[in-house]
Each structure stands twice: as structure tokens, then as C-alpha cells.
Amino acid sequence: MNEQAVGGLYVFILATMVGLEIIRRVSPLLHTPLMSLTNAISAIAIVGSIGFAGSGEDPVVTILGSVAVFCSMVNITGGYLITYRMLSMFKRSKRSGE
Amino acid sequence: MIDAIVPFIGLAAAVSFVLGLRWMSAVPTARRGVLVGVAGMALAVIGALLRPEIIDYRFIAAALVFGTVIGVPMAMMPMTAVPQRTALSHSFGALAAALVGTAEFYLHAGSIEGGTMLALGLEVLLGSLTFTASLMAFGKLQELLPQRPITFRFQNYLNISLIVTAVMCVLLLAIQPQWTFLFPIIVILALSFGVLFIIPIGGADMPTVISLLNSYAGLAAAAMGFVLGNTLLIVAGALDGSSGFILSMVMSKAMNRSFTNILFGAFGQVQTKAASTESRPYRSASPADAADILKTAGKVVIVPGYGMAVAQAQHVVHELHDLLMKEDIDVKFAIHPVAGRMPGHMNVLLAEANIPYDRLIEMDEINGELPMTDVALVIGANDVTNPAARKDPNSPIFGMPIIDVDKAQTVMVVKRSMAPGFSGIDNDLYYMDNTLMIFGDAKSVVQQIVKAIGGK
């Protein structure tokens, strides 16, 4: 196994452990926005897709890459926006806010 | 120059994602978490765009613009449509992973090293199956497809053999990278598995399925990170994957199903134990009676179910809450983890109706308060209030955690009729001495109660 893959495995396992610890603490109140937020985060796949869409090497690769960029961009804009919108709806009651 | 900076931009983005999720632990900090995530994402995208190997910007620009044009309206949907939207975005994320994997394979087919091939195979496998499965889930949630589970003989054997064959093909391709003909077979098997996987699943199981698909979409992105040697992608995919995993666990626990049960797609099977046909006595009351009882209560717990959202009764329920609070009656909402069509769905539905979030209480916490509660008002919820889950070992839902409304002084249930819900299980709650049934559409019943209290 090459070094890069082993390094990747380190990162993957440690990031998963961090993820499990942090997400366990997320209030169940916010599980729906949590899902839309993580969905937007994983749209970071756009970074890889851009490399294919802009390489200019082969039309097939350009098209596959561009569609992937499009899909990721939908999730980035839509995901962050709806998460923010949902979170803005959560308000404290006036009485207990005093 | 830019090549030296990009890895650090990636690190900054990864940190911003972790911080953002950490801030989701409580409402007051949560929005900050979104903003820091957006900043990290923007940096990462700019970094990717500035890389020297990008020579053609036309298609990228078009995709970014088009993606924004579709993404923004998708964020403006009402909260009832959020589960559908989420399913659709899982399918977009999964498709992106599958397409990038395909592009990579197309470029280097035959000369891909074994370990990378394994990651690529998993990326395309998970991406493809999550793509079709999420589209199917979207179709069911949007009611484009029938909501009821469709089952046939040997269904599980067929599904398991499909996925096992696909995984074998991935392994073979990793061992023999020159056998490129295996690639389209993997894609086709995975796409079909995705469809067949969702067919036997009914509406009530959607929260679990959406969480599971969330996890798969994250793992597909992480696999893509392995293929491209991109650490940021591995981190983001791992975070998404672990989030989906935790939510699936929470959901399966709330429905009293084991995780293996879920992984093998055995859920959604209709419980065939017929409800007893003998008619048992129950008591009913009018909305005016309900108003009288509520007015004299000191502590009220409202148990909302998806039926409330279907009747669009959230806003009148908010009015009822305000009215009772004004009379110095303590009103709380009991939220079961699977209330709604996705994890936490009931909370956003009620928040959208302006109900303060400090009034939304989780099941475990509210159960301690129910014995001291004067009135429990059940609106559109059924199975999650059935005391048989606690008392009757023969009940199909025995062992499922429920909201203990039966322990309240008086229980009022707003329901259309005595007909059992879509699980087909009769609810013992309805026949208890301290239960009053109020028949009618949730919205109009609550409206009448509000009018009766307001009019005094």
C-alpha cells in the first residue's frame, strides 16, 4: 500500500472519530439543519470536480466534471442557505428570555 | 506560489467545517457555524480555481451559475418539503462522486494502481446506489411514487446478491485493473440496487433511510478524496458519513429496530398482525369541552405528530400555545425522535410556526414530567403514544420508546376517526378511562378550541 493511501486512512479514521464525538453533542432539536449542513459540507467534492471540468483535456471528462461541479454547487448554495434559514426560525420564548 | 498555499487553504476549510459542526450543539451558536463553513468553502473553491492546471473556465463558470440558479430556490421551500429536498440533495452529492469517479476511470483505465482502484470502485458503487436510492426516496416523499412498501418474494435475496456481486466486481477490478469491462457492470448493479433498496420501504421508515443515505453520500465523497489524494475531501466525507451514521442509530433506536436490521433493508415490512376487530368502548368530547378542560389546567403537554403537519395545523397550534401561556398555563411540546419525515423534522415544523424552541422538549425529558401533567393533547400522533409498546409483549411495537401520555391526568386525542393509522396497530391509549377522543380534522378542531378559549 502506498504512503498516500495510508496517510489518507489516518485522516479518515481520525476525522470519523472527531465527527462521531462532535455530532453526538448536537442537540436533537437541530438534527434537520445538521443534515442539510453536513450535506453542504460534503459538497466540497466541488474542489475535485473543478479539476476535471477545467482541464480542457478531453470533452468527455470536461462534461462529467462540469455536471459534477453543477451538482456540488446546488448542494453548496442550497444546503448552506436552507440551513441558515432553518436556524433563523428557532426563537426563544419572550417569557423565558427575560 | 498558489501550489504552496492551496494545502493550507484546505486545512483552514477542514477546521472551519469541524468548528461549524461543533457550534451546532446549541441554537445560539449554530448560525455562526454555518457562516464559518461558508467562509471555509469559499476559500477552498477559490483555491481550486486558481490551480495552474485549470485552463478552461467556461464550463466551470456555467456550472457554478447554473448550480446557484437551481440551488437557491431549493433552499426556499416550506419546511414540510425539507425531507424531499434533503433526499434530492443526497442524490446530487452522490451523482457528483459517481461522475468524478467515472471521469478518473475514463482517463486512466487499465493503469490505475490497486489501492486507488479499490477506492474508485467504492466511490462509484456508493455514489451510484445512493444516487438512485435518493431519487426513489425523493419520489416517495414527494408522493410521485406510491408510499406504501412494495414487497415480493426473495426480495432480500435479490438485493443482497446484487450488492455482493457489485462488491466482488470492485475487488476483482482492484486485483486485475486491466479488466475494464467490470466498470460498467459495477455501475449498473449499483444503480439497480439503489432502486430495489427503497422499493420495500414505507413512509414511516423514511427518517432512518434518509439518515442512511446521508451516511452513504458522505462515504462516497470520502472515497473520492482517496482517489484524488485530497485530504480535505476525506475529512468532509468522514464528517458527513459519521453524522449520517449517528442519525441512523438515533432513528433506529427510536423505532426499536436493530442496526443490522436496517443495513439489510429488512425494514418497511408491514406488520401483519391484524388489529382486534372487537369494538371497545371509548369516550369522546367536543372541542368546546376540550377548551373547558384546557382552561382549568395548570400544565399542558402537546404531542404533535406528522398528521398535524399534513393538516397544516402548526399555526393554529401556535395560537393555542400563546393563548394558554397568556392564561398562565405551562405549555410544552413533546417531541418523539421519529416525529416527521426526517430526523428533527417536527422541531423545524414547529419553529417555522413561531413556536419558541425552549418549549420543544425531547422524549426522555418530557416523560419525567408527564405524571405531573394535567392535560396531554395528542395531535396527529399515533404509534408513538401507544402504551402497548411498554405493556404488551405481543404488540408489534413492543419495546419501542414512546411518549408516556397515558400517565397524564387527562389525555385528549385529536383524530379523524377510530380507524387505526397506517401501521395498522390499534392504540390502547384511546380506550383508557382518562382519554377523551375529539374527532375531526386537526386544523379545524384546534381552531374551534382556540375560539372557545378566546371567547370565554
ipTM of the complex: 0.94
pLDDT tier for residue B268 given thresholds of 50, 70 and 90: very low
> Which carries the bigger pLDDT value, residue B234 or residue B4?
B234
C-alpha cell at B387: 402504551
C-alpha distance from A9 to closest chain B C-alpha (Å): 8
Q: What does each C-alpha distance from B47 to A12, B15, B40, B54, B419 come to in angstroms?
A: 22, 16, 11, 11, 59
> Which carries the bigger pLDDT value, residue B271 or residue B86?
B86
- Cα separation, B142 vs B276, whole angstroms: 33
CB contact residues (below 8 A), chain A span 15-74, against chain B: 15-16, 18-20, 22-58, 60-74
pLDDT tier for residue B353 given thresholds of 50, 70 and 90: very high
Q: How many CB atoms lie within 10 A of CB B142?
A: 14
C-alpha distance from A3 to closest chain B C-alpha (Å): 11
- Output the pLDDT for position A98: 36
User: Would strands B360-362 and B410-415 be described as parallel, antiparallel, or unpaired?
Assistant: unpaired
- Chain CA centroid to CA B199, Å: 17
Q: Range with the lowest mean pLDDT among A51-60, B273-282, B444-453?
A: B273-282
- Chain CA centroid to CA B171, Å: 32
Q: Do B60 and A77 touch (CB under 8 A)?
A: no
* Dihedrals phi, psi of A35, to nearest 5 degrees: -65, -40
Residue type, A85: R
- Output the pLDDT for position B347: 96
- Output the pLDDT for position B422: 59
DSSP characters over B77-109: S-GGGHHHHHHHHHHHHHHHHHHHHHHHHHHHT
CA dihedral B298, B304, B309, B314 (to 10 degrees): 20
C-alpha distance from A14 to closest chain B C-alpha (Å): 9
Residues of A in contact with B17 (CB under 8 A): 41, 44
Would you say residue B270 has pLDDT above 50? no
Would you say residue B155 has pLDDT above 90? no
pLDDT tier for residue B157 given thresholds of 50, 70 and 90: confident
- Cα separation, B41 vs B12, whole angstroms: 9
Length of chain B: 456
- Output the pLDDT for position B153: 76
- Output the pLDDT for position B423: 64
- Cα separation, B427 vs B384, whole angstroms: 10
Would you say residue B76 has pLDDT above 50? yes
DSSP characters over B296-343: T-SEEEEEE-HHHHHTT-HHHHHHHHHHHHHTT-EEEEEE-TTSSSST
Among A18, A74, A90, beta carbon nearest to B357: A90
Average pLDDT estimate for B214-221: 95
B383 has catalytic annotation: yes
Residues of A in contact with B352 (CB under 8 A): 89
Helix (H) or strand (E) holding B412: strand B410-415
C-alpha distance from A17 to closest chain B C-alpha (Å): 8
Q: Do B17 and A41 touch (CB under 8 A)?
A: yes
CB of B129 within 8 A of CB of B197? yes
Beta bridge partners of B284: B437
pLDDT tier for residue B267 given thresholds of 50, 70 and 90: very low
- Cα separation, A65 vs A67, whole angstroms: 6
- Output the pLDDT for position B437: 93
- Residue-wise pLDDT for B309-327, tens only, equals 989 999 999 999 999 999 9
> Which carries the bigger pLDDT value, residue B95 or residue B395?
B95
Q: How many CB atoms lie within 10 A of CB A42?
A: 35
Report domain extents, chain A: 3-88
Q: Which residues contact B375 (CB under 8 A, 6 or more apart)?
A: B293, B294, B297, B299, B300, B301, B408, B409, B410, B411, B412
- Cα separation, B279 vs B416, whole angstroms: 17
- Cα separation, B321 vs B205, whole angstroms: 30
Q: Radius of gyration over alpha carbons of chain A, in Å?
A: 19
Would you say residue A84 has pLDDT above 80? yes
Q: Which residues contact B426 (CB under 8 A, 6 or more apart)?
A: B275, B276, B420
Considering chain B, what percentage of its residues have pLDDT values greater than 90?
A: 69
- Residue-wise pLDDT for B11-38, tens only, equals 999 999 999 999 999 999 999 999 999 9
Q: What does each C-alpha distance from B188 to A29, B64, B162, B181, B185 come to in angstroms?
A: 39, 29, 10, 12, 5
In B, minimum Cα distance to A61 occurs at: B103
Average pLDDT taken over every residue of chain B: 89
Residue B203, phi-psi category: left (phi > 0), alpha (psi -120 to 50), beta (remainder): alpha
> Which carries the bigger pLDDT value, residue B277 or residue B351?
B351
- Residue-wise pLDDT for B91-100, tens only, equals 999 999 999 9
Catalytic residue, chosen from B383, B406, B426, B428, is: B383
- Output the pLDDT for position B274: 47
- Cα separation, B414 vs B220, whole angstroms: 44
* Dihedrals phi, psi of B391, to nearest 5 degrees: -105, -30
- Output the pLDDT for position B259: 66
Residue A3 at interface with chain B, using a CB cutoff of 8 Å: no
Q: Do B238 and A61 touch (CB under 8 A)?
A: no
- Output the pLDDT for position B264: 57
CB of B438 within 8 A of CB of B287? yes
Report the number of secondary-structure helices (H) and strands (E) in chain B. Answer: 17, 6
DSSP characters over chain A: --HHHHHHHHHHHHHHHHHHHHHHTS-GGGHHHHHHHHHHHHGGGHHHHHHHHT--S-HHHHHHHHHHHHHHHHHHHHHHHHHHHHHHH----HHHH-
Average pLDDT estimate for B273-294: 79
Q: Do A20 and B245 touch (CB under 8 A)?
A: yes
